[in-house]
Amino acid sequence: MEFGPVTAAAPDAVPAAQPSRLVDREPRVPADRLVAELVPPPHFDGVRFETYVPDPAQPSQSAAVAALRSFGATLAAPPPRRGLFRRSAPPEGRPGVYLDGGFGVGKTHLLASLWHASPGPKAFGTFVEVTNLVGALGFGATVEALGGHKLLCIDEFELDDPGDTVLVSTLLGRLVDSGVRLAATSNTLPGALGEGRFAAQDFLREIQGLSARFDVVRVDGEDYRHRGLPAAPEPGDDEDVARRAATTPGATLDRFDELLAHLGRVHPSRYGAMLDGVAAVHLLGVQPVSDQSAALRLVALVDRMYDRDVRVVTSGVPLDRLFPDELLRGGYRKKYLRAVSRIVALSRVAG
In this predicted model, what pLDDT tens digit does every residue of 268-315 receive, in sequence order?
Answer: 888 989 999 999 999 999 999 999 999 999 999 999 999 899 999 999
- According to DSSP, the residues that pair with 282 across neighbouring strands are 253, 313
Indicate the burial class of 276 (C-beta count within 10 angstroms; 0-12, 13-18, 19 or more).
Answer: exposed
**Hey, what domains does the chain have and what are their CATH numbers?**
31-218 (3.40.50.300), 224-350 (no CATH)
pTM: 0.73
Give the Cα separation of 344 and 318 in Å (integer). Answer: 9
> Please, which residues have CB within 8 angstroms of residue 50's CB and are 6 or more apart in sequence?
none
Helix axes 162-177, 127-137, angle to 10 degrees: 80
Q: In what order do the strands lie in the sheet with 311-316?
A: 251-255, 280-286, 311-316
- CA 309 vs. chain centroid, Å, equals 12
In this predicted model, what pLDDT tens digit does every residue of 187-234 receive, in sequence order?
Answer: 654 554 444 433 334 434 554 566 778 888 888 887 665 554 446 788
